[in-house]
Amino acid sequence: MTKRRLTGQQQARIRANQDAELLSYDAKAIVLKRYRDEALVWLEQGEEVTASIRRTLDHLVPGDEVALSKDKGWVVTARFPRKTVLSRDSRLGKTKWIAANITQMIIVLAVVPETSASLIDNYLLAAANLGVKPILLVNKVDLAESLEAGLEPYKLYQDLGFELYVCSVNQPETLVALKQALLDETSIFVGQSGVGKSSLLQTLLPHKALEVGEISEKQQLGRHTTSLSEYFLLPEGGGVIDSPGVREFVLNEFSASDLFTAFPELMRTGSCQFRNCQHEAEPGCALTGLVKGGLMSAERFEHFMTLFKRASR
């Protein structure tokens, strides 16, 4: 059934009603998980409850701070203003809302399966767009012949100045730095299927019974288990949002300045000869000069140009 479109006046009235709900409510909570018309929430008082969602309240996601009223049961009546919200475009061009109020993005990689550079770059771009800190986390390092070999596909990002950690659920000592990085932050785990996000969370949250995919002994690939984003409170403080694994991540909107944050090597060059340079075949282009000088790979520059053209539309 097609949803009825609301008029501008109706939308304004709904917003006004929700603003009024924020002035008087029975409880404040964080959304842990969203179902169709209900949400699992964590009350400020320290209790986990299920609440129905008012019909006029769309796009609730884990991490949202919400106001609740209580009559016969708990009802989410309004959402507090978000500090950040992560979303992506689906293949059908629709927006998929993922998480809200995150302060850092943990890009989970693995020795096996190896994550493509284009997916990593898209996540770095999303972090830049939100203004949150990105951390690259290389998981399953125990499967590599050596630490150097396991890091080889991702060393470029460390050389560019991005924070990078290594870990394995089979080597608890490698998780110490990660736990410290997560302390008192609202982090989101992102990455492709099979990199071990759910297994990592199970190790960080031993009191939770999480669904973890079986591992293929032949390929050492994890089966995708997370279908909905979910917020988990960490015992030491802070929270982690687990998001479904993806094969691609397409950002809705971003600026050229976001691109330069995701591709920091471009900040090291001078200005192009022409202000309207499109960084293709123009003379005096500082960016193509990076490739010619061996300071940036042709593959990475090609991906930058794909994103640059989207930002310029």
Report residue 266 CA to chain centroid gap.
24
- Mean pLDDT of all residues belonging to the chain: 87
pLDDT at 51 over 50: yes
Instruction: Look at the pTM and tell me if it is higher than 0.75.
Output: yes
Amino acid identity of residue 135, one-letter, is I
Q: Is 102 within 8 Å of 84 (Cβ atoms)?
A: yes
Q: Residue 18 — pLDDT band, cuts 50, 70, 90?
A: low
What number of helices (H) and strands (E) belong to the chain?
A: 9, 13
| The pLDDT value given to residue 122 | 95
E-strand spans in the chain?
27-34, 38-43, 48-53, 65-70, 74-79, 85-89, 95-100, 104-110, 133-139, 163-166, 186-190, 230-233, 239-242
Least confident of 5-19, 55-69, 226-240: 5-19
Domain ranges of the chain: 8-79, 85-242, 263-311
Average pLDDT over residues 26-52: 96
pLDDT at 165 over 90: yes
Q: Which two tokens stand for residue 312?
A: 């310029």
Instruction: Give the residue ranges of DSSP H helices in 153-241.
Output: 155-159, 176-182, 197-204
Amino acid identity of residue 142, one-letter, is D
Conformational region of residue 220, where left means phi above 0, alpha means psi within -120 to 50, and beta covers everything else: left
Instruction: State in words which class domain 263-311 has.
Output: mainly alpha
Q: Residue 292 — pLDDT band, cuts 50, 70, 90?
A: confident
pLDDT at 1 over 60: no
Of residues 279, 280, 262, 263, the one with CA closest to residue 271: 279
Quickly count: other Cβ atoms within 10 Å of residue 180's Cβ: 10
Domain 85-242 superfamily per CATH? P-loop containing nucleotide triphosphate hydrolases (3.40.50.300)
Vertex 143, ends 139 and 147: CA angle to 5°? 75
| The pLDDT value given to residue 294 | 87
Q: What percent of the chain has pLDDT over 70?
A: 87
Of residues 89, 87, 85, the one with CA closest to residue 248: 89
Q: Is 93 within 8 Å of 65 (Cβ atoms)?
A: no
pLDDT at 63 over 80: yes
93 vs 132 pLDDT, higher one: 132
pLDDT digits (tens, 9 = 90+) for 201-257: 999 998 887 765 544 444 444 444 556 899 999 999 999 999 998 888 988 689 988
3-state secondary structure of 138: strand
| The pLDDT value given to residue 68 | 96
Q: Which two tokens stand for residue 97?
A: 């809302």
Phi, psi of 232 (to 5 degrees): -125, 135
Q: Is 247 within 8 Å of 195 (Cβ atoms)?
A: no
Q: Peptide bond before 113: cis, by omega within 30 degrees of 0?
A: yes
| The pLDDT value given to residue 264 | 93
- What is the rounded distance in angstroms from the CA atom of residue 131 to the CA atom of residue 141? 29
Least confident of 37-51, 219-233, 291-305: 219-233
30 pairs with which residues across the strands? 42, 65
| The pLDDT value given to residue 217 | 40
| The pLDDT value given to residue 20 | 54
| Second CATH level (architecture) for the domain 8-79 | Beta Barrel (2.40)
pLDDT at 6 over 50: no
pLDDT digits (tens, 9 = 90+) for 83-129: 999 998 877 778 899 999 999 999 999 999 999 999 999 999 999 99
| The pLDDT value given to residue 253 | 86
The span from the first CA to the last CA of the chain, in angstroms, equals: 33
Instruction: Give the residue ranges of DSSP H helices in the chain.
Output: 8-21, 117-130, 147-151, 155-159, 176-182, 197-204, 256-262, 286-292, 298-311
| The pLDDT value given to residue 247 | 81
Least confident of 35-39, 138-142, 225-229, 307-311: 225-229
pLDDT at 179 over 60: yes
Query: Biggest alpha carbon distance in the chain?
Result: 71
